[in-house]
Every structure is written in C-alpha cells, then in structure tokens.
Amino acid sequence: PSFQKKGVARMLMEETLNYMKKVGVDTVYTFVNWRDWGLLQFFDAMGFRRGDMINLEFKIED
C-alpha cells in the first residue's frame, strides 16, 4: 500500500518491457482477472490490448 499510486509498478513494467525488447521478445502475454478493474486499467495504460486467446479452466470437484 505505501508504494501504490507512486509510479513504482509503471517504472518496473517499463524496465521489464525495455529489457524484453532488448533481448528480442516481440510479444508479451499475461493473465488478468476480468474483475480486477484496477489491474485492467494499469495494463491498458501500459499499452496492452486484448489478444486472440482466452483462458479456459475446469474445476475438479472432490
């Protein structure tokens, strides 16, 4: 909480993406919970867009 709204996540993401570009990565994928509006806004602000793949899950009950 003390680091929130201070640009720390943005700085870390920018450094990570710059490094990935430097080593030849051309696409970054991530999983985000659709209900986590704050995280969706963060990734949107960083330039991430909805891709062509979806995540499927199957819950195995006991």
3-state secondary structure 34-48: CCCHHHHHHHHHCCC
Look up residue 15 and give its two tokens: 């450094």
Q: What is the pLDDT of residue 62?
A: 83
pLDDT of 1 reads: 67
The pLDDT value recorded for residue 44 is 97
Give residue-wise pLDDT tens across range 6-46.
899 999 999 999 999 999 999 999 999 999 999 999 999 99
Distance of alpha carbon 36 from alpha carbon 14, whole angstroms: 21
- Provide the residue type at 61 as one letter: E
Give the DSSP letter string of 18-29: HHHHHTT-----
pLDDT of amino acid 60: 97
Whole-model pTM?
0.79
| Cα distance between residue 39 and residue 25, in whole Å | 23
Which residue type is seen at 12?
Answer: L
